Amino acid sequence: MAREHPFLLAGEWQRSDRPLEVRSPYNGEVVGVTFVPSEEQVEAAIERAVSGFEQTRRLSSEERARILTRVRDGLAGRREDFIRTIVLEAGKPWKDAAAETDRALHNLEVAAEEAKRIGGEIMPLDLREHSRDRIGLLRRYPIGPIAAITPFNFPLNLPLHKLGPAIAAGNTIVLKPATKTPLTALTLAEVMAEAGMPPGMVSVLPVPASLAEEKLVKDDRFKMLTFTGSAEVGWRLKGIAGKKRVTLELGGNAAVIIDEDADTELAVKRIAQGGYTYAGQSCISVQRVYVHESAYAAVSRGLVAAVQALKVGDPMDPETDVGPMIEEAAAQRSREWVQEAAAEGAKVLTGGEADGPFFQPTLLENVPPLSKVCRGEVFAPVVALFPFGDFKEAVAAVNDSPYGLQAGVFTPSLANAFYAFDELEVGGVIVNDVPTYRTDPMPYGGVKDSGLGREGPRFAIEEMTELRLMVLRT
C-alpha cells in the first residue's frame, strides 16, 4: 500500500477529504498519496504566516542559521529516502536524483551561512553643508509572508531555493509544490518540522492551481510571490499579483556556441549531458548548438555517437542516463514538434520517436529558425545543430530568441569570451561549458521571457528583504 503523506500547515500535519494519488511517470503505479487542502485550510495557513511573521522577523541570525543547519542535517540523514522519492514520483534517473539531493545539502549550507551575513552599510551623507552632521545607516529587514510556487522537475532543490532564503531572512513562507511531484516537498516538510522553527514559519500545501491563484497569488497579505515554472503561466501570474514583489524564474531555450579551435571533445561530452539529462526537462537544458563551420562535421559525428550511447530506461537503474518524461503527453508533444520541424526541412540525425512516456534522445540539423524546436522551449531531450562562419553572427543567432536564461560558449579566445559576455542577452554566460551548469550559490535568473529577479541564497535574500535607511544626526 502506498504511503500516506499529510501536508504541513504551520507546524501541524493535516489531511482533507480530497486524496491526491501520485503516480510514477515510468510505470503509472501509485507511489504515494497526499491530500488537496481545502480553501479553509489554505486560509488558515495564510493567517498563521501573517501572525507568525511577528515572531520570525525577530529571530537572531544565529537562530535562523541554526534552523537551516538542522534541516540540512535532517536531510543528510535521510539522503537515500529523498533520492528514492524523487526517482519514484518524478521519473528522474537515480544518479540525477542523487546529484539533486547533494545539491540540496549544499544549498542549505550556503543559506545557513548567508543568514549570518545579512548586513547593511554606513553611508556618508555629509556631501553638502546642511548634512555635515548626518550619517546614513542601511539595513535589510525581512519583507513578510511569502507565497512560493515550484514545478515538477527539481522537486527538492527548487523548493529549497525558496524555503532556504526565506528562513535565512526571517520571513514566513507558504509553499505550493507541483501536484505531480509533491511527495519530495512533503518529505522535506517532515525534516523541517523537526528542525525547531516557529510553527507559523513554513507551510507546504499541494494547492490546486485555481485555488493557488486566488489565495496565494492575488492575496495582498503576501508581500512577495516567488514562482518557478513556464513563461506563459509566470507572466500571467505577475499580472494578477497586485502590489506584491514578484520573482519569476521561467523557461528558456538555452544555446551553446562552439567557436573555431574550441575543445570539441569537451563540448560534445558536455552537450551529451547538458542536452539530455532528465530527458531535457530543465529550463537550461541545451536546445540549440551553433558550431563553427570548421568543426561542424566533427561535432555532428561526435554528438550522434554520444547521443546514441545514452542508456534509456528504468530510472531506478543507477546506469540509466535518460528516463521517462513526466507524462506521456509530454513525449507525444515532443514527437509532434520534431515531426513538424522535419516536415519543414529539418534532418533527424538520431532519435525522434516516442514510446509511451519515453522520448528518444534526439539530434537535429537544418532546423528552420522559426520552428517550435528552435523558437519555443522544447523541454525534452532534443538538440538542434547550426553551422556558422562568424562568431558575431552566432551571438546574434543566440539572441534571436524570446528567452534569455543562460548560454554556453566554448572558445579559446578571451576576446570572444568577453564579447559574448557583453553581447549575449542572457542572465548568465558559461564559458567552456554548457548553459546547464549551475552551482547553487551563484545568481541565477534570466531576461526577456525567462523571468526577472535572481535566485541563489544570497541573491534571493536580497529579493526577500527590504532595504531600510536610518539617518542619524550626530
Q: SS3 helix, strand, coil % of the chain, rounded to 5?
A: 40, 25, 35
CA–CA distances in Å: residue 289 to residues 268, 274, 296, 341, 430: 10, 11, 10, 16, 14
Strands 173-176 and 288-292 turn out to be unpaired
Q: Considering 213, 249, 377, 455, which one is annotated as catalytic? A: 249
Half-sphere exposure of 158 (CA within 13 A, CB side): 27
303 vs 383: CA distance, rounded Å? 10
Is 283 a known active-site residue? Answer: yes
Q: How far is CA 186 from the centre of its chain?
A: 18
Is 80 a known active-site residue? Answer: no
Backbone angles phi, psi at 209, to 5 degrees: -55, -45
Strands (E), 94-244: 120-124, 134-142, 146-149, 173-176, 202-204, 224-228
Q: Are 231 and 446 in contact (CB under 8 A)?
A: no
108 vs 101: CA distance, rounded Å? 11
Q: Considering 89, 100, 213, 283, which one is annotated as catalytic? A: 283
Cα(first)–Cα(last) distance of the chain, in Å? 70
Q: Are 448 and 404 in contact (CB under 8 A)?
A: yes
Q: Are 365 and 131 in contact (CB under 8 A)?
A: no
Query: Dihedral angle at the C-alpha atoms of 362, 404, 185, 38, nearest 10 degrees?
Result: -110
List Cβ neighbours of 87 (8 Å cut-off, separation of 6 or more): 93, 94, 97, 315, 316
Q: Are 150 and 158 in contact (CB under 8 A)?
A: yes
Q: Which residues are catalytic?
A: 249, 283
